[in-house]
């Protein structure tokens, strides 16, 4: 990775953190648990990286590690979104 | 055919959907749709990634299949009271996934540039600490490990030594990755160890802070993995999660009037024990029949739930009692302290599960000014968050912590199993107040008793 690309990615990181602060600070405290499980699901985005590692077939160890990563990240994505939905479904108005 | 451009465009769309989804979480009405939108973003990102040139699908399909089955079962079967454990585990899985991605990329051996190797190191370090730290947190929350804080001599020195060793190994590894695989494996092992040793000293009541912090780590780990594979969407999504965890951590710390350093390093519950004050006055027990008579005459009742409500699984009977009170012409509200329970928002989810409408759930700052007009305040399994000592007793370990001002109500019922002190071992002067009545026993049984009294009349 060249320094140019690195700086570019860092740029994206910094702006995303600010965006995150803006968005999350508006979430009311009654929704903090679904926020956590929902953001867990989002952090399952590592799945995208895991898929490439598991499918690239560079060598056995990489494929094994990648496949394991796919399993864990998928649990995060699927479990996270479903359980968040299950919780949010319960919040009703009078 | 090379789909690189298409894949990247889809990643941009996914990033927009993640942001939109989080934005819609700002109100309970739109939250469920927001979660769905975020899930669609994730689905698109995954499908687009599968278009990457030269992928073989057998292992991918197997991994996704196993992960989906486990995820579906976990999400369906988990009890709402066990949500903190579930979130702790999910944090840990996010961490280990990032660690594994970093490791796999290193093994693939395609790229050996300095900056990539540094990010591999970071993703392994953060991912490893997040993984074992979350497993310890899960163990403490589910009762597999003792939940009290475990302090030992030289703990800080051990953690510092661990961190320095990891950094040393990191420098060795980064200087010549191909020749120093042992150093890499040592980094993995030491990161695991650091995760364990840094969460072990933290007690059960401080778990809201720890879970929030680990939540933020799992996002940072995804960010680091994003740098490893030079992928924007990982960085954006990881940063959103990292920011979310940091905000929650700050809210939790503020609600306990403690610094993050104090939570992480001091082992609250164990240090406090010597600071036991004298008891002031007598406690006044009351039985269910008399409590019913007072509730029956009340025009305004506020429930203050705490972790004890979750332990006793009393949320459904509380809702039933609330409903009967409303039929009786009484105004019913619920006051929720930010750190009540074992994770941010824990009590809200439990009460929502029991069909309490969310417009009856009040944050501490919104309900406190109303307490002078409240006839009966029912404290269920909460302790430190209603202790008035936090307001005026400078010698109290919780002095300065914002509390729910339950003591201002005309009558306060405290539901408690026994006179044992709360988690932090601090005597609660509210129990000795003139307007306080103690309802001893299992919270669920007590409330069921009150419900039965209402139904008989």
pLDDT higher than 70, residue B167 = yes
The last residue of a domain, from among B77, B94, B128: B77
- In B, which residues are within 8 Å of A54 by CB distance? 59-60, 63, 104
Q: Same domain, yes or no, for B266 and B357?
A: no
The last residue of a domain, from among B270, B296, B329: B270
Torsion B86-B87-B93-B97 (CA) sign: positive
**One-character DSSP codes across A6-34:** HHHHHHHHHHHHHHHHHHHTTS-GGGHHH
Angle between helices B114-142 and B181-199 (to 10 degrees): 30
Placement of tokens 């867990």 in the chain: A40
pLDDT at B396: 82
Q: Which residue has the higher pLDDT, B424 or B373?
A: B373
Of residues B2, B282, B384, B393, which has the active-site annotation?
Answer: B384
> What is the band of B1 on the pLDDT scale with cuts at 50, 70, 90?
low
Q: Same domain, yes or no, for B327 and B250?
A: no
Q: Do the beta carbons of residue A25 and residue B80 sit within 8 Å? A: no
**Which stretches within B24-57 are classed as H helix?**
28-49
Report the pLDDT averaged over residues B115-121.
Answer: 90
> What is the band of B273 on the pLDDT scale with cuts at 50, 70, 90?
very low
B249-268: pLDDT as tens digits: 999 999 988 888 887 776 65
> What is the band of B153 on the pLDDT scale with cuts at 50, 70, 90?
confident
Among candidates B28, B91, B93 on the partner chain, residue whose Cβ is nearest the Cβ of A30? B28
Residue B60: which domain range?
1-77
Rg (CA), chain B: 25
Among candidates A36, A76, A83 on the partner chain, residue whose Cβ is nearest the Cβ of B344? A36
**One-character DSSP codes across B197-225:** HHHTT--GGGHHHHHHHHHHHHHHHHHHH
**Which stretches within B109-175 are classed as H helix?**
114-142, 155-175
Report the pLDDT averaged over residues B330-356.
Answer: 93
CA B381-B387-B393 angle, 5° bins: 160
Placement of tokens 């030289």 in the chain: B154
| Three-state SS at B300 | strand
Lowest mean pLDDT among B125-139, B197-211, B261-275: B261-275
pLDDT at B239: 96
CA distance A14 to B375: 50
Q: Same domain, yes or no, for B128 and B169?
A: yes
Q: Do the beta carbons of residue B240 and residue B19 sit within 8 Å? A: yes
Q: Which residue has the higher pLDDT, B11 or B259?
A: B11
Decide if A68 and B63 are in contact by the 8 Å CB cutoff: yes
b/e sequence B43-56, b meaning 16+ C-beta within 10 Å: ebbbebbbebeebe
Q: Same domain, yes or no, for B300 and B245?
A: no
What pTM does this model have? 0.91
> What is the band of B424 on the pLDDT scale with cuts at 50, 70, 90?
low
What number of other Cβ atoms are within 10 A of residue B300's Cβ?
18
B394 interfaces chain A, CB cutoff of 8 Å = no
> What is the band of B361 on the pLDDT scale with cuts at 50, 70, 90?
very high
A8 interfaces chain B, CB cutoff of 8 Å = no
Q: Which residue has the higher pLDDT, B284 or B273?
A: B284
B86 interfaces chain A, CB cutoff of 8 Å = yes
B60-91: pLDDT as tens digits: 999 999 999 999 999 999 999 899 999 999 99
Position B72 in a domain: yes
Among candidates A36, A45, A62 on the partner chain, residue whose Cβ is nearest the Cβ of B222? A45
Q: Same domain, yes or no, for B333 and B300?
A: yes
CATH of the domain at B357: 3.40.50.1220
Region class of B109: left (phi > 0), else alpha (psi between -120 and 50), else beta? left
b/e sequence B205-219, b meaning 16+ C-beta within 10 Å: bbbbbbbbbbbbbbb
- In B, which residues are within 8 Å of A72 by CB distance? 67, 93-94, 96-97, 100
> What is the band of B423 on the pLDDT scale with cuts at 50, 70, 90?
low
**A14: Cβ contacts below 8 Å, ≥ 6 apart:** none
pLDDT higher than 80, residue B434 = yes
**Sheet containing B436-440, strands listed edge to edge, beginning at the edge strand earlier in sequence:** B361-363, B331-336, B300-305, B376-380, B411-416, B436-440
Nearest to A18 by CA among B260, B259, B244, B230: B244
Report the pLDDT averaged over residues B444-457.
Answer: 92
The count of domains in chain B is 3
pLDDT higher than 90, residue B217 = yes
pLDDT at B351: 95
What phi and psi, each to the nearest 5 degrees, are found at residue B414?
-115, 115
Which positions 24-83 of A are in contact with B (Cβ < 8 Å)? 24-59, 61-63, 65-83
Position B71 in a domain: yes
Q: Which residue has the higher pLDDT, A93 or B211?
A: B211
Return mean pLDDT, chain B.
90
pLDDT higher than 90, residue B49 = yes
pLDDT higher than 50, residue B278 = yes
Q: Do the beta carbons of residue B59 and residue B115 sit within 8 Å? A: no
Q: Same domain, yes or no, for B244 and B143?
A: yes
pLDDT at B176: 85
Report the pLDDT averaged over residues B6-30.
Answer: 95
CA distance A61 to A59: 6
Decide if A36 and B219 are in contact by the 8 Å CB cutoff: no
Q: Same domain, yes or no, for B109 and B247?
A: yes
* Domain layout of chain A by residue ranges: 28-90
pLDDT higher than 70, residue A73 = yes
Torsion B289-B294-B299-B300 (CA) sign: negative
B29: tokens are 């009405």
Decide if B71 and A75 are in contact by the 8 Å CB cutoff: yes
B88: tokens are 């702790």
> What is the band of B280 on the pLDDT scale with cuts at 50, 70, 90?
low
**A26: Cβ contacts below 8 Å, ≥ 6 apart:** B23, B26
Q: How far is CA A5 from the centre of its chain?
A: 22
CA B456-B411-B281 angle, 5° bins: 120
Position B121 in a domain: yes
**B77: Cβ contacts below 8 Å, ≥ 6 apart:** none
pLDDT at B270: 46
B317-337: pLDDT as tens digits: 999 999 999 999 999 999 999
The last residue of a domain, from among B28, B53, B77: B77
What number of other Cβ atoms are within 10 A of residue B438's Cβ?
19
B362: tokens are 């009040």
Q: Same domain, yes or no, for B253 and B176?
A: yes
Nearest to B391 by CA among B371, B419, B361: B371
B393 carries an active-site annotation: no
A7 interfaces chain B, CB cutoff of 8 Å = no
A11 interfaces chain B, CB cutoff of 8 Å = no
Report the pLDDT averaged over residues A56-65.
Answer: 88
pLDDT at B425: 64
Report the pLDDT averaged over residues B23-42.
Answer: 96
pLDDT higher than 60, residue B110 = no
pLDDT higher than 90, residue B53 = no
pLDDT higher than 50, residue B275 = no
Give, in order, the Cα–Cα distances in Å from B243 to each of B78, B114, B306, B307: 27, 27, 27, 27
Rg (CA), chain A: 17
Share of chain B above pLDDT 90, in %: 68
* A4/chain B closest Cα distance in angstroms: 11
């Amino acid at each position: 990775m060249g320094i140019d690309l690195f700086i570019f990615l860092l740029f994206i990181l910094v702006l995303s953190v600010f965006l995150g602060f803006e968005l999350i600070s508006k979430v009311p405290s009654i929704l903090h648990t679904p926020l956590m499980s929902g953001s867990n699901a989002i952090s399952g985005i590592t799945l995208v990286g895991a898929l490439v590692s598991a499918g690239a077939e560079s060598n056995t160890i990489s494929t094994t590690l990648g496949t394991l990563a796919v399993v864990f990240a998928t649990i995060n994505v699927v479990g996270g979104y479903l359980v968040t939905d299950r919780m949010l479904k319960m919040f009703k108005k009078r | 055919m090379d789909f690189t451009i298409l894949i990247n465009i889809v990643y941009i769309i996914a990033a927009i959907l993640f942001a939109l989804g989080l934005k819609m979480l700002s109100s309970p009405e739109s939250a469920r749709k927001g979660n769905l939108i975020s899930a669609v973003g994730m689905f698109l990102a995954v499908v687009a990634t599968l278009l990457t040139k030269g992928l073989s699908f057998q292992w991918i399909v197997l991994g996704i299949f196993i992960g989906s089955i486990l995820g579906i079962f976990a999400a369906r079967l988990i009890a709402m009271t066990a949500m903190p454990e579930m979130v702790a585990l999910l944090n840990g899985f996010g961490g280990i996934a990032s660690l594994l991605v970093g490791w796999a990329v290193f093994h693939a051996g395609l790229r050996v540039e300095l900056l990539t190797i540094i990010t591999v190191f970071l993703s392994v370090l953060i991912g490893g600490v997040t993984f074992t730290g979350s497993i310890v947190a899960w163990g403490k929350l589910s009762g597999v490990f003792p939940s009290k804080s475990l302090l030992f001599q030289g703990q800080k020195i051990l953690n510092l030594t661990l961190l320095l060793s990891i950094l040393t190994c990191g420098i060795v590894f980064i200087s010549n990755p191909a020749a120093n695989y042992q150093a890499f494996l040592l980094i993995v092992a030491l990161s695991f160890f650091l995760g364990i040793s840094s969460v072990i000293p933290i007690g059960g009541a401080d778990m809201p802070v720890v879970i929030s912090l680990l939540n933020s780590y799992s996002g940072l780990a995804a960010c680091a993995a994003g740098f490893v594979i030079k992928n924007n969407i990982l960085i954006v999504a990881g940063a959103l999660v990292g920011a979310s965890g940091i905000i929650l951590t700050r809210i939790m710390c503020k609600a306990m009037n403690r610094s993050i350093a104090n939570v992480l390093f001091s082992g609250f519950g164990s240090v406090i024990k010597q600071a036991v004050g004298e008891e002031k006055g007598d406690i006044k027990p009351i039985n269910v029949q008399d409590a019913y008579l007072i509730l029956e005459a009340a025009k305004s009742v506020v429930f203050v739930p705490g972790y004890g409500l979750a332990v006793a699984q009393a949320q459904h009977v509380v809702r039933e009692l609330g409903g009967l009170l409303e039929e009786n012409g009484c105004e019913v509200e619920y006051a929720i302290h930010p750190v009540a329970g074992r994770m941010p928002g824990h009590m809200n989810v439990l009460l929502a599960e029991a069909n309490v409408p969310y417009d009856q759930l009040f944050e501490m700052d919104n309900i406190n000014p109303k307490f002078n007009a409240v006839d009966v305040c029912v404290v269920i399994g909460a302790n430190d968050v209603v202790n008035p000592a936090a307001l005026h007793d400078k010698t109290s370990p919780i002095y300065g912590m914002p509390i729910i001002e339950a003591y201002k109500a005309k009558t306060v019922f405290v539901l408690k199993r026994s006179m044992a002190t709360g988690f932090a071992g601090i005597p609660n002067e509210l129990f000795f107040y003139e307007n306080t009545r103690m309802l001893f026993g299992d919270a669920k049984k007590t409330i069921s008793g009150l419900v039965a009294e209402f139904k008989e009349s």
